[in-house]
Amino acid sequence: MRLATGFAAPPLLNGLVASFSVRAQPPTFDVASIKPAKPGQIGTTSNLGQGNTLNLKNYALIHLVMRAYDVPEFQVSGASGWMVSLAYDIVATADRVESEPARRFEQTRLRLQALLADRFQLQIHRETKELPIYALVVAKNGPRLQENKESGMGGNLSTSIGRTGTITGRGSSIKDLAKALSRILSRPVDDKTGLTAAFDFKLTWLPDSASPETAAASDLPSLFTALQQQLGLRLESRKGPVEIIVIDRASKPSEN
């Protein structure tokens, strides 16, 4: 009698294994072009999570990492030299994209991560450190926010900082607001409000970078005061775990 030397998986198990293998593969762009940016060019982004083409102009590697991993600059470590000084233009297209905006945005980030690993030979690891953070909480008299009632509307949040600072939310979550505040304050902001609805709001304040003349002529409050007066929210200083993206290795990409 001859013994079997291998194991044949049942058809159903074969299907599950094949399906798992396909899902485990990270999504990638079908076509991608990377070229050195033109001197003096202003950095722009288009179609991040909106269409099937990602167009990034005048991005250094550190800023590409920020986009790919959705973190502010203070959460990226290990970038130096050409990773900060040399900028690139990237045009990348995916034939098939998700129809829902939030999932499409996430897929675009994963595709950009794969592109950086392939073309920049980027290798990273993650570390968690105990650092100063802000907790965003509801102020004493409660929130001053208008809930957005438009069914199925995707959130839209924009930030502008010049002579005045403005954050405008339309169908936006408080987590989105916390993320915007984190970038402005260069410190992680953890949403502890417990507010889960989508809101319409406008926050206006006097930036710390305002000139003495602008500050003297303005009646706008600081960001911390504006949050309480205009949105009924408050920032508390705390310490907490912060994930850091550490760049271990990267190479300049070949132009194509």
**Does 39 or 122 have the greater pLDDT score?**
122
Q: Give yes or no for residue 105 having a pLDDT over 90.
A: no
Which band of pLDDT confidence, cut at 50, 70 and 90, is reported for residue 14? low
Best-predicted range by mean pLDDT (4-8, 43-47, 105-109, 177-181): 177-181
Q: Give yes or no for residue 212 having a pLDDT over 70.
A: yes
22-47 pLDDT, tens per residue? 456 788 999 999 999 998 887 777 66
Q: Give yes or no for residue 142 having a pLDDT over 70.
A: yes
The pLDDT score that the predictor gives to residue 152 is 56
Residues linked to residue 35 through DSSP beta bridges, in sequence order: 89
CB atoms within 10 A of CB 254: 7
User: CA-to-CA distance for 225 and 203, rounded, in angstroms?
Assistant: 11
Which band of pLDDT confidence, cut at 50, 70 and 90, is reported for residue 48? low
The pLDDT score that the predictor gives to residue 149 is 84
Q: Give yes or no for residue 1 having a pLDDT over 90.
A: no
Token pair of 205 as six digits: 């304040």
**Does 203 or 15 have the greater pLDDT score?**
203
Non-local (6+) Cβ contacts of 249 within 8 A are: 121, 122, 123
Non-local (6+) Cβ contacts of 190 within 8 A are: 133, 134, 135, 136, 178, 238, 240
User: CA-to-CA distance for 186 and 170, rounded, in angstroms?
Assistant: 24
The pLDDT score that the predictor gives to residue 24 is 60
The pLDDT score that the predictor gives to residue 23 is 53
Listing from the earlier edge strand, what are the strands of the sheet with 53-60? 31-36, 87-93, 53-60, 44-46
Sequence-ordered alpha helix ranges (H) in the chain: 11-24, 61-69, 82-85, 101-119, 174-185, 212-217, 223-226
- Bridge-based pairing state of the strands 123-138 and 189-191: parallel
Q: Give yes or no for residue 18 having a pLDDT over 60.
A: no
Q: Across all residues in the chain, what is the average pLDDT? A: 87
The pLDDT score that the predictor gives to residue 231 is 98
Q: Give yes or no for residue 62 having a pLDDT over 90.
A: yes
Token pair of 30 as six digits: 């079908």
SS3 32: strand
The pLDDT score that the predictor gives to residue 214 is 87
User: CA-to-CA distance for 65 and 149, rounded, in angstroms?
Assistant: 35
User: CA-to-CA distance for 101 and 155, rounded, in angstroms?
Assistant: 9
The pLDDT score that the predictor gives to residue 15 is 52
Domain ranges of the chain: 12-120, 129-242
Best-predicted range by mean pLDDT (1-5, 15-19, 78-82, 208-212): 78-82
The pLDDT score that the predictor gives to residue 245 is 98
Token pair of 44 as six digits: 């722009």
